[in-house]
Chain A
Amino acid sequence: MTLSMADGWHRVCRADEIDDEDVVRFDLGARTFAVYNTPSGFFATDGLCTHEEQHLADGLVIDDIIECPLHQGRFHIPTGQAKSAPVCEHLATYPVQVTDGVVYMHIADD
């Protein structure tokens, strides 16, 4: 299957460039995202914490949870749900596919 930019799919990186239970930052234009390798698979969310806009790519992945580096607020990665204070607003999530060892995420046009 070919994933094309025209359809909103963007190449993030090779799958082996994200360690197990880890996260990388992916910037597209002015937007920033976090792309995760979790025990349940690869996922993508908005890149900034909904509490005080820290880059989640600097945070800690614990199973399916991303913990923010500044105040340790937590989100459930697959759903983007805010799990513990000080975060209470959910994160937007994005579809991800891994094809031929490459991670793609889908970003709809604004």
Chain B
Amino acid sequence: MSDYQATNASSSGVRLDKKTLKALSRRSDRPGLRWLATWAALLTGSGTLVYLSLATWWIVPAMLLHGTLLAVPAYSLSHECAHGTAFRTRRLNEVFFWLSSLIYIEEPTHRRYAHARHHTYTWIKGKDAQMSFHTPLTAWSWFMEISTFGHLIYEARLLTRNALGAFDDEVIEFTPASELAKLKWGARAFLAIYGGLAAYVIVTGAMWPLVYIVVPRLVGGPIMQVFTITQHAELEEDQPSILRSTRSFRSGPIGRFVYMNMNNHMEHHLYPMTPFHALPTLATALQEQVPEPDPSVVRINAEVLSIAVRRSLGLDTTARHIRQADGYAGREPMPAPAE
């Protein structure tokens, strides 16, 4: 048995009694189906606004709204399904894992294994498979992250390599050998679906895939990144405590809905068995043991951008409103927590 302690509640010195955890982890299809129905209704509404505003300047806000409502929840659902916690029924979970991952643009087998790795080695350099941007963030790495160019370039390369069976060393390290064929065929299926859609648009001249899916996904991508960058940016690397590597933030109902309560990201990493609908209750149960959530997603992003720019200019990078690793704020890093 290995001595490595995965990054989670016990590596962070957080405790919750078994009965409470079991009650919070209980699965149900109903909250997930209700969330899906609401998402479908919102997308129908925003898609209608796009349709009504075609060939007018109103297309800009309509597209921004539709893109946000397409991209952010697709990320959130794909993530929740990667954990298998969106629905109690496994098949429902897997079907929506595929569909949402197609919109998010990450092949599901890779997403699941890379994300498992991220939970085992949260924010540990060279080990965490989802440390997408270079740390600490500079203005350039911030741009690559927020624009989604970083994600798109990474995925184009990864899908191609996986489809060819030319797996990166990192992929081989975290994917069991028996799953590599699934990874290869999953990547081929993804490329075939994206290629098929492109061929359909070119051959038939149909514009609807571009207007209602492709362009909105690209427009909504940066908003999606605005949410995901909050999770670990400016926090501490290479140590075992989730309390120091991961951030939660306060959010209103719209943010909580599109992000499936992942504003409670610290609590999610502490107890990843907890389904999205129980995360607010988990956060309340743990509030005495964890740092205060940071302010809103907007405030975090404004400050992260300001720090990234200041860092690129060689200026003081101390955060004023958000949590920040001591090393990044010019303070001596805290010692690692005792085992």
Contact = CB atoms under 8 A, between A and B. Distances in A.
A85 interface: yes
A37 B33 CA distance: 29
B84 A84 contact: yes
B139 interface: no
Given A72-B85, A86-B112, A86-B113, A67 B273 contact: yes
Given A69-B272, A72-B85, A52 B176 contact: no
B6 interface: yes
Contacts of B84: 67, 72, 74, 84
A15 interface: no
B25 A53 contact: no
Nearest to B182: A85
A71 B272 contact: yes
Given A74-B84, A84-B84, 5 more contacts: A69-B8, A69-B273, A71-B83, A74-B90, A88-B179
A52 B6 contact: yes
Contacts of B8: 69-70
By secondary structure, the A interface counts as loop
Nearest to A51: B116
Interface string A4-24: 000000000000000000100
B88 A71 contact: no
27 contacts: A48-B1, A52-B2, A52-B6, A52-B120, A53-B1, A59-B273, A60-B25, A62-B27, A69-B273, A70-B6, A70-B119, A70-B120, A71-B83, A71-B115, A71-B116, A71-B272, A72-B84, A72-B85, A72-B272, A74-B84, A74-B90, A85-B109, A85-B179, A86-B113, A86-B176, A88-B176, A88-B179
A97 interface: no
A5 to B, nearest CB: 25
Interface of A: 22, 48, 51-54, 59-60, 62, 67, 69-72, 74, 83-86, 88-89
Contacts of A89: 176
B165 to A, nearest CB: 18
Interface residues of B, number: 25
Nearest to B90: A84
Interface in B77-114: 83-85, 88, 90, 109, 112-113
Q: Which 10 A-B pairs have the closest CB atoms?
A: A71-B116, A72-B84, A86-B116, A60-B25, A72-B83, A88-B176, A85-B112, A88-B178, A53-B1, A69-B273
B44 to A, nearest CB: 31
Nearest to B88: A62
A18 to B, nearest CB: 11
A59 B85 CA distance: 13
Contacts of A53: 1-2
B29 to A, nearest CB: 12
A56 to B, nearest CB: 12
